[in-house]
Amino acid sequence: MKITDVEAIILRQPVLDEGIADGSQDDLVIRIHTDEGITGIGEVDSSPEAVHALVSATSSHAIAHSFHSLLVGEDPTDIERLWQKMYRGMNYIGRRGIALHAQSGIDIALWDIKGKAAGKPISELLGGAIHDRVRAYASMLMPDTTEETAERVSALRDDGFTAIKLGWGPLGKDPKHDVRLATAAKEAAGDGDILIDAGHGYGADAKTAIGVARELEQLGVYWLEEPFEPDEYEAYAELADTVDIRVTAGEQDTTVWGFRELIERGHVDLVQPDVTRCGGITELIRIGALAREHGVETVPHAWKSGIIKAASLHANAVLPDATFQEYCVADTPINQTLVKERMPLDADGFVAVPTGPGLGIELDEEVLERYRVS
C-alpha cells in the first residue's frame, strides 16, 4: 500500500468569538489517501491556515520539506519510520510548535489507515486495551459569575458527568473571584469532582498561585491546571513542591524531550499531552511511558471534535493510569456534529473506547463540506 495524497482541510464555523479560548470553532482535518482505497483521518488543534501551508506547500530544499512531499509514495503502515522521517524532514522549519502539530494530525491518520487495513482498532495495534472504557470529565469554559457556574455544573451532573473541568474565562484576573467560582462549582457538583484550569492566568506568579491552590485544596478540588505560562518551569516547581493539590500542565508541549523538561524542571504531578499537538498517538504513548518512569500520571488533553476524542480514547485504553478522558461539551457544530459517532456516557459516567477498525469513527461528509473553507 502506498500514500497517494495528503489532504489538509480547513473548517470554520460562520461566526467566531475571538474573545474566548474555544478551539472547536475551527479545525484542520487531515485525510491521507492510499492506492488501495483506504483513507485515514486525523485532526490538528492549531492555526488551520498555518498547518495547511506546512502540509501542502512545495519543498524548499533538501532539508526543508512539506509533509505532502515527504509522504507521497510511502507505505502508510510503517508509522515509526515515517514519524522519524517527518521529524527530520521538518527540522529546518521547526522541531517544536506548529511543525509537530501538523505531524500529530498526520500520525493519527496513519494509525487510522493501519487499523483499517488490519481490521483492528488502534488500541489493539498499540498492544491491546487495558481499559475498554474511561471515566469522562466534562470540559467547559469557566463562566463569569458564581450563579452561572453553579447552574452549568448542576446541568452537567444531571447529564451523567461525575467530574467537571472549568477553565480559562475570568480565571487569573482576581484570585479571590477564582476561589469564589471554584467554591460555587464544588458545591454544585455534590460528590462529583471539580477540576480547575487557570489558563496561564498567574503568569509566573508562584506566590499568588500558591495562595489560590491552598484554597482549592480546602475545597477538595481535584487538580489545578496550567496556572503559569508554559515555559515558567521554576514557578511550576515552586508551586508543585509547596502544595498538595495536583499541579498539571502540558497541552502546549510537544515531544518526549519537551515533556522531560516539564517533568524534571517543573515537577508537575500530572502531564496532559494533546494527541493533535504533541506528536500524535506515537509520541503520546512515549510521553506516557516517560511520565510513568518519573512517577507522574498522564491524562490526554482533548478539545476539538470527535476525532480527538476517539484518538485520545485509544491512547487512554493502553495507558495504565488512564484516570480521565477529557470530554469537550462546547456547543459548536464542529465538536457536536463533525463525527457521526456520538460517543455517549454510560450510566457510570464513563465513555467506551471505539472498537471499529482504526479510529472507529466516520466523518459526516455533509458537515465537513458545510464548514469547509476553500
User: What nine digits make up the cell of 40?
Assistant: 485515514
Cβ density class 179-210: b for 16+ within 10 Å, e for less? bebbbbbbebbeebbbbbbbbbbbebbbebbb
Q: Which amino acid is at 307?
A: I
Q: Taking a C-beta distance cutoff of 8 angstroms, is the pair 183, 177 a contact?
A: no
H helix count then E strand count, the chain? 14, 12
Collapse the DSSP code of 354 into the 3-class scheme (helix H, G, I; strand E, B; otherwise coil) and give the result: coil
Whole-number Å distance between alpha carbons of 133 and 121: 14
Contacts of 14 (CB under 8 A, 6+ apart): none
Whole-number Å distance between alpha carbons of 254 and 231: 12
Whole-number Å distance between alpha carbons of 68 and 56: 6
**Closest CA relative to residue 291, chosen from 266, 247, 256, 254:** 256
Q: What is the largest CA-CA distance in the chain?
A: 59
Choice among 65, 68, 131, 301 that is catalytic: 301
Q: Which helix (H) or strand (E) holds 369?
A: helix 365-370
Is 301 among the catalytic positions? yes
Collapse the DSSP code of 71 into the 3-class scheme (helix H, G, I; strand E, B; otherwise coil) and give the result: helix
Match 498561585 to its residue by C-alpha cell: 209
Is 200 among the catalytic positions? yes
Percent composition of the chain: helix, strand, coil (DSSP 3-state, to 5)? 40, 20, 40
Choice among 33, 68, 131, 200 that is catalytic: 200
User: Rounded to whole angstroms, what are the CA distances from 339 to 8, 224, 293?
Assistant: 17, 31, 35
What are 164's strand-pairing partners? 138, 194
> End-to-end distance of the chain based on CA atoms, in angstroms?
29
Match 510513568 to its residue by C-alpha cell: 292
Q: Taking a C-beta distance cutoff of 8 angstroms, is the pair 361, 307 a contact?
A: yes
Active site residues: 200, 301
